[in-house]
Amino acid sequence: MKLFYSFFKTLVGQPVTVELKNDLAITGVLVSVDQFLNIKLDNIKVVDEERYPHMLAVKNCFIRGSVVRYVQLPAPSVDTALLQDAARRERQQPAAGPRK
């Protein structure tokens, strides 16, 4: 259940791009993540700044997990074999039931 929470914790300090469900994309350094996969980013830059000057004065932010569509990661930071393995194990023995 906490697989992706643990996975994201290993990426703290990396640059990531968070794409929201309304297509807005924000690049920043991953500062923290929580059990709901809420994400905190530092030094943010909105992708396509010209279209979205609304957030010029925002340098770091908290993004609610429920509005995230994708989190784009630097490929070298991800051990895909390890992740696949962990996902396989999680599937065979889920750690907990569905969250409320």
Interacting residues with other proteins (CB under 8 A): 20-24, 32, 34-36, 38, 40, 44, 51-64, 66-67
> What's the token pair of residue 61?
């932010």
- Amino acid (one-letter) located at 16: V
52 and 33 Cβ atoms separated by less than 8 Å = no
> Measured from the CB atom, is 17 or 86 closer to other proteins?
17
- Shortest distance, CB of residue 79 to other proteins, whole angstroms? 26
> Measured from the CB atom, is 1 or 87 closer to other proteins?
1
> Measured from the CB atom, is 66 or 92 closer to other proteins?
66
- Shortest distance, CB of residue 69 to other proteins, whole angstroms? 9
Residues 55 and 29: their CA atoms lie apart, in Å, by 17
> What's the token pair of residue 47?
């992708």
- Shortest distance, CB of residue 21 to other proteins, whole angstroms? 5
What's the maximum distance between 2 C-alpha atoms anywhere in the chain? 47
